[in-house]
Amino acid sequence: MPSRRSGTPAFVLLLLVISLSFCTSSSELDSRWAAKKLEMRDKVREMFYHAYENYMTYAFPHDELKPLTKSYTDSLSELGNLKLEHLPTDYSGSALTLIESLSSLVIMGNNTEFERAVGWLSKNLSFDVDARVNLFECNIRVLGGLVSAHILASDSKNRLIQGSYDNELLGLAEDLGRRFLPAFDTPTGLPYAWVNLKYGVMEGETTETSTSGCGSLILEMGALSRLTGDPRYEFAALRALRKLWSMRSSLNLFGTTLDVMTGEWIEHSSGIGAGVDSFYEYLVKAHILFGKDDYWRMFQSAYLAVQKYFRHGSWYHEADMRSGRATYWQLTSLQAFWPGLQVLVGDVRAANSSHREFFSVWEKYGVLPERYLLDYQTVHPTEKYYPLRPELAESTFYLYHATKDPFYIEVGEAIVNSLNFYTKVEGGFASIRDVTTMQREDHQHSFFLAETCKYLYLLFDDSFLAGRNYVFTTEGHPLPVLSDWHDRLPEAYIPSNWTYVKSRMSMERASAMSLQVCPATSLNLGEGQQAIESVCHVVDARGDHRCLRDEECGVDATSCRSRSCSIAGYCGLWLLV
Ligand code: DMJ
């Protein structure tokens, strides 16, 4: 009896000790992660300034930095895959990297440098130059950079500009937008890939363009129309998008390249990477930014087709748009944006599994090779380069903020360490020419500052996003989700109905990336912690994503309909497609 009496309090005490030590260790763990995030944020800030200051010292006002020789390149007129022989000779640079850095400066809280840069660009930038530029690249980098920075500069709440700001960036954006318009003057409304900023479309210009080249202009040109009240930009981009949509195959697939004069496909094989990627991205983001249901409907059908014909487990291969037959079994570095897009539409589980595959290839080489042969598990013989691309960091950022899983902090840390170890040089950050030897190349692309550093920074510190809804363009430039730009604001974006995420003691308003378009549901993580997850994610019962019965297939991310198991053993909306 006495032993029993004394045993009870000892047991209670033991429980108390265990639970106290658990509490201590979990809060210790929390503060360790918080400290890690701060440490990593500071490292990313250092990386950004190392790249930025070297650009400003050795390359500004030219386009991009050559970090090995500490010199510059005027690359804007050479961007893109489709080149003509006769490049302009008097092209003298457009301060491209400075324009691309504007929104990153704001996100990192450097209002002084932002104001200085806005002042310089307002006074010195001119598009009245005899320069043949790639429409897509110039749109996402220059127009997108200017429009986004204009919105940030004129946001009276933030007081980013202490002196006077008289919409100079918007004036520049409008001038550039006007110079784009001749490119759309084709029988199909599909724009030429290249346009001369001074003289319009050049004689003998190539009529070949890519799906992303003419299908991902709507965010920047739509924003320009909303800001200026001139509908021509949005109209031109939308007309091109609709024409492209009408060219889909009976399987709802698209090719990679096409002819703007005839509207015929040239390359029928495509995937979710080069030449197509941002087309899918802009359907979802245009829906979020402008609220039109049409964009969402297009995205839904396109997404289902991608999942049905390109997906193989967690990998995505390429397929012929006419037959759906697999063409290339290759992973490309550009595809790594896809998990981020899946988070945005609520397909968090599928995002998580494909992100892991990309990260495993990153870990294998230390960075992501441009192309990796899935069937041989090795790098492509000629596309061995890594030009400091942001896509894996971008998806990691989305996944961390949707799940708060510290695994993604570790991924971010691995990315930062690799970048510093392999690509940092005295004169900036150099691209990698060959991931098998880590031989460097003399080029620091502007998207390293616009995207790679920005997404890494936001992964570790998202205070810029607190209480606001932004959509990031494909070049990482933030555009705010505004009710006056909406035909009809989706539920999740109505301020009085904002979704809240409970974190520790405080309720924080979720930012754009955690407001998924599928209806959100609250997920109980235990210990009083809650997170938001979409009710519409794909639940794959088996780790290898194969299925035997319909019941194993869960619910489709975009339509919330039950999926079924195909004869080949994959889940999908087979009965409905
Ligand atoms: C960026 O210029 C954009 O993200 C574009 O959509 C494709 N990828 C490059 C960087 O990799």
Start-to-end Cα distance in the chain: 72
- Are the C-beta atoms of residues 364 and 492 closer than 8 Å to each other? no
Q: What is the pLDDT of residue 574?
A: 65
Using the atom order of ligand 1, give the atom closest to the CA of residue 476: 4
Query: Taking 90 as the threshold, does the pLDDT of residue 281 lie above it?
Result: yes
pLDDT tens profile 70-87: 999 987 765 543 333 333
| CB-based pocket (< 6 A), ligand 1 | 277-278, 334, 389-391, 447, 451, 474-475
Tell me whether residue 474 is annotated as binding. Answer: yes
Using the atom order of ligand 1, give the atom closest to the CA of residue 278: 6
Q: What is the mean pLDDT of residues 63-73?
A: 96
pLDDT tens profile 388-413: 999 999 999 988 887 778 899 999 99
Q: Can you state the percent helix, strand and coil of the chain, rounding each to 5? A: 50, 15, 35
Measured in Å, residue 499 CA sits from the centre of ligand 1 at 30
What is the CB-side half-sphere exposure of residue 366 using CA atoms within 13 A?
17
Is residue 511 very low, low, confident or very high in pLDDT (cuts 50, 70, 90)? very low
Question: What percentage of the chain has pLDDT greater than the value 70?
Answer: 78
Is residue 15 very low, low, confident or very high in pLDDT (cuts 50, 70, 90)? very low
Q: What is the pLDDT of residue 576?
A: 43
Q: What six digits make up the tokens of 389?
A: 């691309």
Q: What is the mean pLDDT of residues 447-463?
A: 96
Measured in Å, residue 356 CA sits from the centre of ligand 1 at 20
Q: What is the pLDDT of residue 546?
A: 66
Give yes or no: 90 in active site: no
Residue appearing with tokens 């210990």? 527
Q: What is the pLDDT of residue 404?
A: 78
Query: Taking 50 as the threshold, does the pLDDT of residue 441 lie above it?
Result: yes
**Helices and strands per DSSP (H, E), number in the chain:** 17, 26
Q: Which residues pair with 424 in a beta bridge?
A: 429
Measured in Å, residue 475 CA sits from the centre of ligand 1 at 6
Query: What's the rounded Cα separation, in Å, for the pair 95 and 77?
Result: 13
Give yes or no: 370 in active site: yes
Q: What is the pLDDT of residue 488?
A: 52
Q: What is the mean pLDDT of residues 3-15?
A: 37
Q: What is the pLDDT of residue 469?
A: 79
The vertex-262 CA angle with 258 and 264, nearest 5°, equals: 40
Q: Which of 80-84, 119-123, 163-167, 352-356 has the lowest mean pLDDT?
A: 80-84
Q: What is the pLDDT of residue 552?
A: 67
pLDDT tens profile 172-228: 999 999 999 999 999 999 999 999 999 999 999 999 999 999 999 999 999 999 999
Query: Taking 50 as the threshold, does the pLDDT of residue 116 lie above it?
Result: yes
Q: What six digits make up the tokens of 463?
A: 């205070």
pTM: 0.82
From the list 370, 462, 533, 540, the catalytic residue is: 370
Q: What is the average pLDDT value for the chain, to the nearest integer?
A: 83
Instruction: Give the H/E segment covering residue 66.
Output: strand 64-66
Q: Could you check whether the bond before residue 406 is cis, i.e. omega within 30 degrees of 0?
A: no
Burial of 122 (0-12, 13-18, 19+ CB in 10 A): middle
Is residue 7 very low, low, confident or very high in pLDDT (cuts 50, 70, 90)? very low
Measured in Å, residue 572 CA sits from the centre of ligand 1 at 29
Torsions phi, psi of 517, nearest 5? -75, -35
Q: What is the pLDDT of residue 351?
A: 86
